[in-house]
A and B are shown apart, each in its own frame.
Chain A
Amino acid sequence: MFRMMILMFGLLAATGGFPPASAASAAKARVHVIVIDKMQYGPMPTGVRAGDIIEWTNKDILEHSATARDGRFDVDLKPGASGRITATAGTLAFFCKFHPTMTATVVVE
């Protein structure tokens, strides 16, 4: 009986009929865009949840990167290019490996 209930929950959650919090965030992953221009990262998104997408868009004339301090991601961004990661929970501190004065932090819940 218990197994049946779990199965039912799982099925409902997967089809979106019953949205517990964890499944909902996976189903409704939001995209948070960070714009890079003139040697700086634009405003940091807020309310980012694990499973959401963080996207960097490089509008600068220079090549940049979004490189995690802890090494968990390293996104190269040529001028005009975009790159994305799936956010994992925690405080994501990142910098540009070419321009170390460019630093930022996003909090992922």
Chain B
Amino acid sequence: MNKSLFALVLTLGLGSLAGAHAATPAPALNDAQIAHIAYTAGVIDITAAKQALQKSHNKDVRAFAQEMARDHAAVNDQALALVKKLGVTPQDNPTSKSLASGAAAEQKKLAALSGSAYDKAYVANEVAFHKTVNGALSGTLIPSAQNAELKSLLETGLKLFQSHQMHAEHLAQSLK
């Protein structure tokens, strides 16, 4: 059950996107769509963190959630400043929609849990979510980004997500 519906939706949404990108020249993502996807991923993790801060009583889980909220807010602030500077309006797209609907379903599922069951499920989902977004960043979003500053921000984002994934994996181990 750790392989949640959310992770599945993410994998399908982003995986098929990556596949289409590799197999055929069209339809490449533009920077406005890439910015929207990256921003959406950040918002999703902040929302999940806020839920964790409401539900969890575990000190380490709460510290992790605070870190997620803080880091992703910082990156998203930077992303907003960048798109404003570039005069780009982030553009909604099927991948963003798939991310958002998957996240909503996961949030609903997590809302029904409590105590250590919730902690474990939240952290397991954080591992899966970061893993999926890392795959999308390195496989699709970064290679497709045209603007150098956007590409650079996404590369920092990838390092951040990789680090969060490792942190989540350590945390998941300690909750066993």
Contacts and interface: CB of A to CB of B under 8 A. Distances in A.
B164 to A, nearest CB: 8
Contact of A39 (B67, B78, B163, B166): B163
Nearest to A78: B70
A101 B159 contact: yes
A72 interface: no
Per DSSP, are chain B's interface residues mostly helix, strand or loop, or mixed? helix
A82 interface: no
Contacts of B74: 61-63, 79
A100 B159 contact: no
Task: From A38, A79, A96, name the one whose CB has the most chain B CB atoms within 10 angstroms.
Answer: A38
20 contacts: A38-B155, A39-B159, A39-B160, A61-B75, A62-B70, A62-B160, A63-B70, A63-B71, A79-B74, A98-B67, A98-B71, A99-B160, A99-B163, A99-B164, A99-B167, A100-B163, A100-B166, A100-B167, A101-B163, A101-B166
Interface of A: 38-40, 61-63, 79, 96, 98-102
